[in-house]
């Protein structure tokens, strides 16, 4: 995550074609140290891409160690570097110290099988490759629909667990309920 902040800083330094430094600093809110539009950042581990973040804008606060992002798309990759699903949301925040990405607003996660996970807010832990949500979640697959409150989702294999108030609808079957 620290590398994201460094990458943002280098991108600004290389591509900036504006007024003098004083003009740029005056235009930033007091709690923002760096702001970018149209970002595309890829995280790699051992030379293999693990995820790519695309966002309309990013605002980074060095003091807080947090980057706020808008219109977020996070693409996950498997251990071979091949695309393995996406996460989209209206807003997000990256906490670089703990490797946490929190997103909210029309959140949709899709996997390679075509399943879609819908919620209003969730968190992705980079070190665990795990997504978690505490709000209502709706899962739509080819052969079933499941709703529940709270979820844990492994991004590597898309196994998931809905934690409470689970209701499943299987086409041709009656509602199946478990609490």
Q: What's the CA gap between 70 and 22, in Å, rounded?
A: 25
Torsions phi, psi for 3 (to 5 deg): -65, -30
pLDDT of 90 strictly over 60: yes
| pTM of this structure | 0.77
Q: What are phi and psi of 96, to 5 degrees?
A: -70, -35
What does CATH list as the number for 2-178? 2.60.450.10
Average pLDDT value for residue range 7-27: 46
Sign of CA dihedral 53, 150, 126, 60: positive
Q: Residue for token digits 């007024």?
A: 19
Listed by start position, the domains of the chain span: 2-178
Give the separation between CA 42 and CA 3, rounded to whole angstroms: 10
Over residues 57-88, the pLDDT tens digits come to 998 888 888 999 999 999 999 888 889 999 99
Q: Which of 95, 92, 96, 94 is nearest to 109 (CA)?
A: 92
Mean pLDDT taken over the chain:
82
Q: How many CB atoms lie within 10 A of CB 114?
A: 9
């Amino acid at each position: 995550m620290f590398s994201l902040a460094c990458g943002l800083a280098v991108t600004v330094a290389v591509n900036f074609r504006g007024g003098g430094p004083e003009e740029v600093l005056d235009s930033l809110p007091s709690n923002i140290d760096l702001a970018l539009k149209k970002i595309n950042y890829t995280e790699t581990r051992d030379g293999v891409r693990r995820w790519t973040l695309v966002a309309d804008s990013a605002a980074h606060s060095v003091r807080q160690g947090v980057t706020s992002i808008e219109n977020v798309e996070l693409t996950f990759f498997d251990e071979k570097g091949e695309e393995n699903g996406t996460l989209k949301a209206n807003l997000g925040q990256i906490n670089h110290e703990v490797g946490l990405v929190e997103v909210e607003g029309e959140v949709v996660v899709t996997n390679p099988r075509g399943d879609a996970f819908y919620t209003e807010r969730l968190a992705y832990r980079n070190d665990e490759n795990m997504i978690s949500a505490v709000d209502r979640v709706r899962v739509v697959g080819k052969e079933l629909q499941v709703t529940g409150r709270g979820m844990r989702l492994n991004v590597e294999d898309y196994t998931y667990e809905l934690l409470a108030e689970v209701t499943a609808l299987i086409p041709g079957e009656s509602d199946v309920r478990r609490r």
